[in-house]
A and B are shown apart, each in its own frame.
With several copies, the nearest count.
Chain A
Amino acid sequence: MAEQDPKRKLSWLAKIAPGVRKMVSRHTGFAGNLWLKDPNTGEMVYQPDLEQALWVTPSGSHMRIGPAQRFAYTFDEGLHERLPAPESPDDPLKFTDDKPYRERLTAARKATGANDAVAIATGRIGGTQTVVLVQNFAFMGGSLGTAAGEGFIAAAEAAVARRAPLVVFTAAGGARMQEGALSLMQMARTTLAIQTLKKAHLPYIVVLTDPTTGGVTASYAMLGDIHLAEPGALIGFAGRRVIEQTIRQTLPPGFQRSEFLLEKGMIDKVVHRKDLPAVLASILGVLTAGRATAA
C-alpha cells in the first residue's frame, strides 16, 4: 500500500532541513565528548552525525530529545513561536525525601533552563496552524505535576483559541510523587482540557515517545483521536518490575514497546522520527478539512 508519495517525502526533507541545520550548529558548540553510545548496540556514534540524523542512531534507536529539537523537527522549516505555561505553585506539599522537592526542582530548572517538564509552541505543520506540547523527560523524568497539568490545559486553551489542532509528544515516567494526590488530579484535569478540543471538533493527536508510562499513559496519552508512536518506545501503565512481581514471570521481549501496542490495537501507526512531520501533515490536513462544526 503506497502511503507516501516519494516526491512529497523529498520535499519534506528539504523543508525541515533549515531547522535541523540550526539545531546542529547550535549544538556543535558543545564542549563535551563528541562521541556517544548507541543504547541498542553499544556502538560509538559521532554526535554531529547523530544530530543530522535527528538523534536516531544508525541501528534505529530513537534517542530521547527535548522540546527544542522536537519543535525544530516538527514545524514547517522549524519555525515556531513558544507559548508561555501559566504560573503554578511550587512544592504544594512541602515534600521532602532525602532532599527537599524544592531543591530537586531548582536543580532540574538549572539543568534544563525550563520551568517544568512541558513546553508549548505554535507554528505550522504541513501548512496547518498547530499547537504542539512536548514533555521533556530530562526534567524530573517528564513527570506530571501541577505545572505540567497547567501547561497541558494552557496548550488546549491556546489550540481552542486559535481553532488549531493540538499535537502532544508524550514522555514521562508517570505522576510526580512529590505532589501526591495533586499529581493524580492532573489525570482528570488534562482529560477535561481534551474535552474542550473535542467540543470544538479540533484534532487532538498524541505522539508517544520513549518512555510514556503510568498516569500519563492512563490519561491524555490514550485519549487522542489518533495515536502515533516512535519506534521502540516503552509505553505502558504498570512498570516492568511491578508486573514481574505480580505475575511471577519474566515479560516477553518487546513487551510494552510501540510495535507491541500497535499489534494490540492501541496505536494507529509507528512512525520513524524523520517521517513524523509528513504523517502529521497528512493527518492534520484531512482532519481540519472536514465540515465539522462545534456542537
Chain B
Amino acid sequence: MIDQRHYLDFERPVADLEARIEELSDPLATDDLEAPAVEMKALRQAAQEIRARIYRRLDPWQKTQVARHPDRPHFSQYVAGLIEDFVELRGDRKFADDQAIIGGLGRFRGQGVVVMGHEKGDDTASRVEHNFGMARPEGYRKSVRLMDLAEQFGLPVLSFVDTAGAYPGLDAEERGQSEAIARSTERGLTLRTPFIATITGEGGSGGAIALAAANKVLILEHSIYSVISPEGCASILWRDSARAKDAAEAMKITAQDLLKLKVVDRIVPEPVGGAHSDPAATVKAVGDAIEEELKALTLLSSDQLVEQRAARFYAIGRAGSGAI
C-alpha cells in the first residue's frame, strides 16, 4: 500500500521527504552504511512530524480530498476486518443486483448483524463493477430488503456510507431513483432494531442519507457529509466549479462541523496521515466505536429505538435544541 501510495497536493512536503528516504535506502546509491541509518531515522521522524502537522490542520477542501483518497479503506475492507461468517445477499427482488451497495449477514464481534454499505472499488475493473459507489434504485431497494430482513430477525444494522451520491443516470431516473432513496431513508427511520451508520469517506447527498437514517451516525475524522458536492455547490452558486474550496468551507461539511451541528454523533479518529495510511488501524478503530455504540443501543426496546431515532433527527437544527 505505502509504496504505491497516491500523494495529495498538500502532502508534497511529505512526498519529497519520503522520496529522499527511498533514495537513501537504495544500497546501490551509497557505500556508506552508517551515515544513512542515522539520517534515515531523522528523515522518517521528520516526515511523520510534517504529516502529523499537515493532518492536524486540514481545511475542508483538503479533507474532501482525503475522504476521496483511493487508498482509503472501503466497505469490503470493513467487512473483511469486522464481520465473521459474512454471507453476501444480493438483489432487490424486482429488477437487478446493484453492486454499488453491498450487503449481507454476518457476525460483528459475536453479534449477528446485517451489514451494508457503498463500495467504490479498488481498481479500474472493480470501480466499474461497483459503479464508483454510485447506486441505482436497485441498490436502495436492496438496502430496504436487508433492513426488512434485519427487522424480521431482530438483527442490528451496521451501514457504511461512502458515496459521491446516487447515480445520476438516465436509467436510474427512469426506474425511480427518487422513490428508491426515499424508501430507503424511510426504512431506516422505521427500523425496530439498532441501526448504526458510519460515514467512512464521502457522505454525498440523498444517496448517503438513504443508508444513514440511523440511531447513531459515526464519522471518520477526515470524512465529509454534504447536501451537494463542493464542486456542484460552486458551479451553482458561483457558476464556477473551481471554487469548490470556497463551497467546501461555506457548507460546513467536515466531521468537526457536523458534530457541532448534531448531524453526526461521534467522530472516530484516524491514524496520523489519514485512514489510508493505516487501513487496519482505521478499521479496528471504527469497529471499537461501533461496538460501544451498539452495546448502548442494545439496551433499548424496539419502541425506544424508533423513538430515539426520531428524536435524534427532529432535534437537528431545531430552534432551542442547543445544536447551533
Contact = CB atoms under 8 A, between A and B. Distances in A.
Interface of A: 1-3, 5, 86-89, 92-93, 95-98, 146, 149-150, 153, 175, 177-185, 187-189, 191-192, 194-195, 198, 201, 203, 214-215, 217-223, 225-226, 236-239, 242-243, 246-247, 249, 251, 255-256, 262-269, 279, 282-283, 285-293
B80 A291 contact: no
Given A194-B186, A218-B185, A268-B90, 11 more contacts: A2-B80, A89-B317, A180-B251, A218-B166, A218-B182, A222-B182, A237-B178, A262-B91, A262-B97, A265-B96, A288-B153
B92 A265 contact: yes
A288 B85 CA distance: 14
28 contacts: A1-B76, A2-B86, A88-B318, A92-B261, A153-B314, A179-B227, A181-B261, A182-B261, A188-B213, A192-B310, A214-B206, A218-B185, A223-B186, A237-B168, A238-B172, A243-B173, A255-B173, A256-B173, A264-B97, A264-B174, A265-B97, A266-B93, A266-B176, A267-B90, A285-B112, A286-B85, A286-B105, A290-B153
Nearest to B113: A286
B226 A180 contact: yes
Interface stretch (B11-19, B232-240, B268-276, B280-288): B232-240
Nearest to A93: B252
A71 to B, nearest CB: 22
Please name the 7 residue pairs, one residue from A and one from B, whose CB atoms are nearest each other, closest first. Answer: A292-B154, A265-B91, A290-B154, A238-B168, A291-B154, A286-B112, A217-B178
B314 A96 contact: no
A95 B317 contact: no
B152 interface: yes
Contact of B250 (A87, A95, A188, A194): A95
Interface in B92-142: 92-97, 102, 105-107, 111-113, 138, 142
Interface residues of B, number: 86
A175 B102 CA distance: 27
Interface string B178-216: 110111011001100100000000000110111001000
Contact of B319 (A88, A95, A179, A183): A88
A149 B313 CA distance: 11
A1 to B, nearest CB: 5
Contacts of A86: 319
B170 A255 contact: yes
Nearest to B84: A5
Among A98, A184, A256, A288, chain B packs the most CB atoms within 10 A around the CB of: A184
Interface string B158-180: 00000000111110111111110
A236 B206 CA distance: 13
B169 A269 contact: no
Given A92-B324, A266-B179, A269-B89, A181 B252 contact: yes
Contact of A3 (B86, B93, B186, B189): B86
Contacts of B318: 88, 146, 150
B153 A203 contact: yes
B223 to A, nearest CB: 12
B144 interface: no
B105 A188 contact: no
A192 B72 CA distance: 33
Given A181-B261, A218-B178, A263-B96, A287 B319 contact: no
A227 B189 CA distance: 22
B147 interface: no
A237 B86 contact: no
A265 B176 CA distance: 9
Contact of A180 (B106, B151, B252): B252
A238 B185 contact: no
Contact of A218 (B112, B177, B232, B238): B177
Contact of B253 (A181, A203, A215): A181
A49 to B, nearest CB: 30
B206 A218 contact: yes
B290 interface: no
Nearest to A185: B316
B222 to A, nearest CB: 16
B242 interface: no
A191 B263 contact: no
Contacts of B166: 218, 237-238
B80 A1 contact: yes
A86 B320 CA distance: 12
A211 to B, nearest CB: 13
Given A195-B189, A243-B168, A265-B93, A201 B152 contact: yes
B88 A1 contact: yes
Nearest to A153: B314
Contact of A268 (B88, B172, B173, B263): B88
A215 B205 contact: yes
A25 B76 CA distance: 43
A292 B206 contact: no
Contact of B173 (A1, A223, A237, A287): A237
Contacts of A201: 152-154
A114 to B, nearest CB: 18
Nearest to A95: B250
Contacts of A220: 182
A96 B95 CA distance: 41
